[in-house]
């Protein structure tokens, strides 16, 4: 049987780091360094707004998986000062790192629990490495 579902294979991301932020006209984007699990030390840089992190968190909260980090609270005004932005960056870095650690649990093959398949698929979609739509 040919496996076409990337979520069932070893998770392709070894580690993530939220390394900086960029202020744009209408939003702040956080820059994520995605270290690939390819043995070659390759990485990608992706940019995501806080709201995109929050969407992933909402999805993760529906799954029976424990994330050992606290997600930073939403604010009702745009952050413009460096200190709160750096605090949010650090919290997002810890939280996303914990999500990727959960994705890297030793589940490979056809007996991967469904919640791990879902977690991996949504995390890969967040990192723009694949579509969240897949077949099992």
Task: Output the average pLDDT for the chain.
Answer: 84
Higher pLDDT, 128 or 36: 36
How is the chain split among helix, strand and coil, in percent rounded to 5?
35, 20, 45
Specify the pLDDT at position 128. 82
Tokens 């956080």, residue located? 30
Residue 135 has pLDDT above 70, yes or no: no
Torsion of CA 44, 50, 53, 55, to 10 degrees: -140
Task: For 76-119, write each residue's pLDDT tens digit.
Answer: 655 667 788 899 999 999 999 999 999 988 676 677 788 888 89
Residue 4 has pLDDT above 80, yes or no: no
**Hey, what domains does the chain have and what are their CATH numbers?**
6-126 (3.30.1520.10)
Q: Do 12 and 38 meet the contact criterion of CB atoms below 8 Å apart?
A: yes
Task: For 62-72, write each residue's pLDDT tens digit.
Answer: 999 999 999 99
Helix or strand holding residue 47 (H, E)? strand 43-49
Work out the percent of the chain whose per-residue pLDDT is above 70. 82
Backbone angles phi, psi at 89, to 5 degrees: -55, -45
Higher pLDDT, 3 or 5: 5
């Amino acid at each position: 049987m040919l496996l076409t579902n990337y979520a069932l294979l070893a998770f392709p991301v070894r580690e993530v780091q939220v390394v900086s932020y960029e202020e744009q006209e209408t939003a702040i984007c956080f820059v994520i360094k995605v270290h690939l699990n390819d043995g070659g030390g390759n990485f990608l840089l992706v940019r995501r707004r806080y709201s995109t992190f929050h969407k992933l968190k909402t999805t993760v909260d529906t799954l029976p998986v424990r994330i050992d980090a606290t997600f930073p609270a939403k604010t009702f005004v745009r952050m413009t000062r460096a200190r709160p932005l750096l605090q949010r960056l650090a919290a997002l870095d810890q939280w996303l790192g914990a999500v990727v650690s959960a994705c890297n649990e030793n589940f490979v093959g056809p007996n991967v629990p469904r919640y791990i398949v879902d977690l991996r698929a949504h995390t890969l979609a967040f990192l723009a490495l694949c579509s969240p739509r897949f077949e099992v």
